C-alpha cells in the first residue's frame, strides 16, 4: 500500500473532499493506494489535521509548553480569593452541608456545561473572546462585552493584591502592627485585642482600625466625593503588582504557563499548613461542626437557592473570556471535555476545603472572645484583612503565620489577575491582527492603563470606588454576557454543529445530557439569574456609608457600558453587510467560512419550529 501526503492547496482538481471542513488553518489530505487493476489505480483520501497548529490568519498559533501549564492556568484563574472569603461563609449561613445540595445541583446543570462550552469554543476556533464569533458574526458584540468586563475587574482586583502585599511587608516584624491600640492611626474607640468587644458597636478592634485607618486611611475621607490623593505606600505596592503581571504576560502563554506552577500550587500548600495549625486551636472543632452542620429546612428558603446559583455563576469564571483565551492556545486535538470536568471539580473542591481552614480559625476566635460564631463569621475583604489577621495575631510565632497567610492571598490573586489580563490581551490582538507583532508593547499599554485607573482605588476614599466597581463591574453584566453567549451558540450556530466541532477535536460527540443543557437548561438558568439580579438589586454601601444616588447611577452606567456592546455591534454589523434585509440577516447569522453559500442562496434556514430545533439537536 502506497501512502502520500499533500497539502490541500496543491491537490489535483480531480480530488475534492465531499464535505469542506471548517477547521481553522490549512489541511492536508492523505492519499492511500488501495487497489490497482488493469492499469487503473483506485485511491481513497482522508483529510487530516496538520501536525503544526496554525492561526486562522495563516501564521503559527502559540501553544502551551505543556498540558499541565494550561490546567494550572485554568485552575489558578478559577480558584481565587472568593473561594476563601465567599463560599465558606455562604455554606455556613445557608444550612451548612445542606447548602451543597443546591450548589452541586446548579454546578451540574449549568456550571460544568457552560465551563465545557467555553473551553470547546476557544479551542476549536483558536481565537480570543471576540474572534471566536466568526461562527455567528452578529454576536461578536458579546465578545467585546466580556473583554470590557475583564478590563473593569482589573481596575479593582489588582488593588486587593496590593493590599495583601502591603500586609505581607507589614508582617516582617517581631510584633504585628494590628495587635495593640498604641499606634498613630488608632482612634479613642480602639479597644485592645483581648477585650470582649464584638458585641459593642461603639468599639473597634486593632485589626479593624489597622485596615481602615492604617492601610486605607478611610478616616481622612468623608465619602466617595472626597477621595483625596493616592497613598504612596499602596501606590508602590500596586506598582509592584503591575510589574509582576507584565513580566508574567509579556511573552504570552510561554511565560504565564511557567508562573502558574508557583501561583496555582502555592495556595494548596499554604491552606494545608494553615489547616494543620487551625485544627489544633481551642474551639476549632466547634467551628468546623458549625460549618458542616446540616439544616435541610433551609432548603425551603428560595434565597438559599439563589445564592447557590450566584456562587456557581461567579466562582467558575465563565463569562470573563478567560477560558476562551486560555483554551485557544491548546492543541486542536486536546481533550477539552476531560479538562472541563477536572478543573471545574477542583475549583469546587477547593472552595469546600478552604471552609475547613477558615472555620477552624473562626471557631477559635469565637471561643477566645466568648461570643457566638455568627458574630465573627463574615465574608468579603473583612474576613481576610480583619478577622483572619486578628486570629493569626494571637498565635505563637504570629509573624510567621501572617507571612504564610498573605503569601497565599498573593498567589491566589496573581494568577486570577493574570487570567483577566490575558482575556483582554488575547481578545484584542486576535481581533486586530497588527497587534500580534507588538504583543509586548500592547501588554505594557494595557497594564499601565490599568495601573493609572486603579490609582483612584488607593486614595483615602478609594474603598468607596472599590466597592462601587465591585458592585457593578461584573454583576448583572456578566450574567447577561454569558446568556447571550449561550443563546448564540445553542440557537444560532446550533448545538448540532457545535457538537460536530467537538467530535472533530476529540473524536467523541457530546452526549444527550450536555446537548440538553446547552440548548435548554443553561439558557433558562441564565435568564432566571439575570431577572433575579435585577429583582434583588440593592444599592451599594460600605459599612454604615450609603452611596449617593449619583454614584449608583455611575455604577449602572459602567454596567450598561459593557452590555450595550451586544446591540451596538449587532446594529453595526447588520448595517455594514451587503444586500437586502434577508441577505444581511443570512450573512449575520452564518459562519464567515460559509458566506460563499449565502451568495449562492444556500444559507441554512431557521423555521422557528420547536420540533425543528429538537430534531436538529438530537
C-alpha cell at 86: 465567599
d(CA 288, CA 165): 29
- For residues 399 and 171, the answer to whether their CB atoms sit within 8 Å is yes
- Is 415 marked as a binding-site residue? yes
Residue 74, CA atoms < 13 Å, CB-side half-sphere:
31
- Is 430 marked as a binding-site residue? no
Please list the residues that pair with 44 across neighbouring strands: 32
Residue 99 C-alpha from the chain's centroid: 22
C-alpha cell at 450: 490599568
Q: Which distant-in-sequence residues (6+ apart) come within 8 Å of 441 by Cβ? A: none
Residue 422 C-alpha from the chain's centroid: 11
Helix (H) or strand (E) holding 3: strand 3-7
- Is 79 marked as a binding-site residue? yes
Residue 251 C-alpha from the chain's centroid: 21
- Is 76 marked as a binding-site residue? yes
- DSSP class per residue in 580-593: SHHHHHHHHHS-GG
- DSSP class per residue in 108-133: IIIIHHHHHHHHHHHHHH-S-TTGGG
- For residues 317 and 417, the answer to whether their CB atoms sit within 8 Å is no
- DSSP class per residue in 471-516: HHTTSHHHHHHHHHHHHIIIIIIIHHHHHHHHHHHHS----HHHHH
- Is 347 marked as a binding-site residue? yes
- For residues 489 and 121, the answer to whether their CB atoms sit within 8 Å is yes
C-alpha cell at 234: 499602596
Q: What is the CA radius of gyration of the chain?
A: 27
Q: For helices 549-563 and 565-576, what crossing angle results, to 10°?
A: 40
Instruction: Tell me the backbone φ, ψ of residue 546, rounded to 5 degrees.
Output: -105, 135
d(CA 427, CA 320): 11
d(CA 333, CA 80): 29
Helix/strand/coil for 43: strand
d(CA 352, CA 347): 9
Q: Which distant-in-sequence residues (6+ apart) come within 8 Å of 46 by Cβ? A: 29, 30, 32
- Is 481 marked as a binding-site residue? no
- For residues 462 and 456, the answer to whether their CB atoms sit within 8 Å is yes
Q: Single out the residue of 148, 153, 143 nearest to residue 485, CA to CA.
A: 143
Residues at the binding site are: 76, 78-79, 83, 315, 347, 412, 415-416
Residues at the binding site for Na(+) are: 76, 78-79, 83, 315, 347, 412, 415-416
Amino acid at each position: 500500500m502506497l501512502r502520500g501526503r499533500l497539502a490541500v492547496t496543491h491537490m489535483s482538481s480531480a480530488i475534492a473532499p465531499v464535505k469542506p471542513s471548517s477547521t481553522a488553518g490549512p489541511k492536508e489530505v492523505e492519499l492511500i493506494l488501495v487497489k490497482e487493476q488493469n492499469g487503473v489505480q483506485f485511491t481513497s483520501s482522508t483529510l487530516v489535521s496538520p501536525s503544526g497548529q496554525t492561526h486562522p490568519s495563516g501564521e503559527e498559533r502559540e501553544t502551551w509548553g505543556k498540558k499541565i501549564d494550561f490546567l494550572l492556568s485554568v485552575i489558578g484563574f478559577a480558584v481565587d480569593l472568593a473561594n476563601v472569603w465567599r463560599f465558606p461563609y455562604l455554606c455556613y449561613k445557608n444550612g451548612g452541608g445542606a447548602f451543597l445540595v443546591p450548589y452541586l445541583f446548579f454546578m451540574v446543570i449549568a456550571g460544568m456545561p457552560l465551563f465545557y462550552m467555553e473551553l470547546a469554543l476557544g479551542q476549536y476556533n483558536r481565537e480570543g473572546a471576540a474572534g471566536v464569533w466568526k461562527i455567528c458574526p452578529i454576536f461578536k458584540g458579546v465578545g467585546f462585552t466580556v473583554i470590557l468586563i475583564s478590563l473593569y475587574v482589573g481596575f479593582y482586583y489588582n488593588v486587593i493584591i496590593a493590599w495583601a502585599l502591603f500586609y505581607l511587608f507589614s508582617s516582617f516584624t517581631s510584633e504585628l502592627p494590628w495587635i495593640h491600640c498604641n499606634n498613630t492611626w488608632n482612634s479613642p474607640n480602639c479597644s485592645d485585642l483581648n477585650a470582649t468587644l464584638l458585641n459593642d458597636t461603639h468599639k473597634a478592634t486593632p485589626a479593624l482600625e489597622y485596615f481602615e485607618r492604617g492601610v486605607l486611611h478611610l478616616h481622612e475621607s468623608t465619602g466617595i466625593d472626597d477621595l483625596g490623593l493616592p497613598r504612596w505606600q499602596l501606590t508602590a505596592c500596586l506598582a509592584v503588582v503591575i510589574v509582576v503581571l507584565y513580566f508574567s504576560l509579556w511573552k504570552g502563554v510561554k511565560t504565564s504557563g511557567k508562573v502558574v506552577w508557583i501561583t496555582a500550587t502555592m495556595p494548596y500548600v499554604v491552606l494545608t499548613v494553615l489547616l494543620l495549625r487551625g485544627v489544633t486551636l481551642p474551639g476549632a472543632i466547634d467551628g468546623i461542626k458549625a460549618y458542616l452542620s446540616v439544616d435541610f429546612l433551609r432548603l425551603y428558603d428560595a434565597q438559599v437557592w439563589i445564592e447557590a446559583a450566584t456562587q456557581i455563576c461567579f466562582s467558575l469564571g465563565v463569562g470573563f473570556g478567560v477560558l476562551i483565551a486560555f483554551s485557544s492556545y491548546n492543541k486542536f486535538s486536546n481533550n477539552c471535555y476531560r479538562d472541563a470536568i477536572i478543573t471545574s471539580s477542583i475549583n469546587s473542591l477547593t472552595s469546600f476545603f478552604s471552609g475547613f481552614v477558615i472555620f477552624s480559625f473562626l471557631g477559635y476566635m469565637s471561643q477566645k472572645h466568648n461570643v457566638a460564631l455568627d458574630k465573627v463569621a463574615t465574608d468579603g475583604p473583612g474576613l481576610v484583612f480583619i478577622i483572619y489577621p486578628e486570629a493569626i495575631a494571637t498565635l505563637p510565632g504570629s509573624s510567621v503565620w501572617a507571612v504564610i497567610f498573605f503569601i497565599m492571598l498573593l498567589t491566589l490573586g496573581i494568577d486570577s489577575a493574570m487570567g483577566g489580563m490575558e482575556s483582554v490581551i488575547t481578545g484584542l490582538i486576535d481581533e486586530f491582527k497588527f497587534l500580534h507583532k507588538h504583543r509586548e508593547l500592547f501588554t505594557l499599554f494595557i497594564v499601565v492603563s490599568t495601573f493609572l485607573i486603579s490609582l483612584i482605588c488607593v486614595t483615602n476614599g478609594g474603598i468607596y470606588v472599590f466597592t462601587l466597581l465591585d458592585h457593578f463591574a461584573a454583576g448583572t453584566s456578566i450574567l447577561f454576557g454569558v446568556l447571550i453567549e449561550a443563546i448564540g451558540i445553542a440557537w444560532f450556530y446550533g448545538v448540532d454543529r457545535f457538537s460536530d466541532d467537538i467530535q472533530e477535536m476529540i473524536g467523541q460527540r457530546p452526549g444527550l445530557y450536555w446537548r440538553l443543557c446547552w440548548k435548554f437548561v443553561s439558557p433558562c438558568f441564565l435568564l432566571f439569574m439575570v431577572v433575579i439580579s435585577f429583582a434583588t438589586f440593592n444599592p451599594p454601601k460600605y459599612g454604615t456609608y450609603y452611596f449617593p444616588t449619583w454614584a449608583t447611577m455611575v455604577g449602572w452606567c459602567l454596567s450598561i457600558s459593557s452590555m450595550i456592546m451586544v446591540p451596538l455591534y449587532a446594529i453595526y454589523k447588520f448595517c455594514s453587510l451587503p444586500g437586502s434585509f434577508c441577505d444581511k440577516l443570512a450573512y449575520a447569522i452564518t459562519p464567515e467560512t460559509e458566506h460563499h453559500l449565502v451568495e449562492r442562496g444556500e444559507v441554512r434556514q431557521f423555521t422557528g419550529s420547536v420540533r425543528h430545533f429538537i430534531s436538529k439537536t438530537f
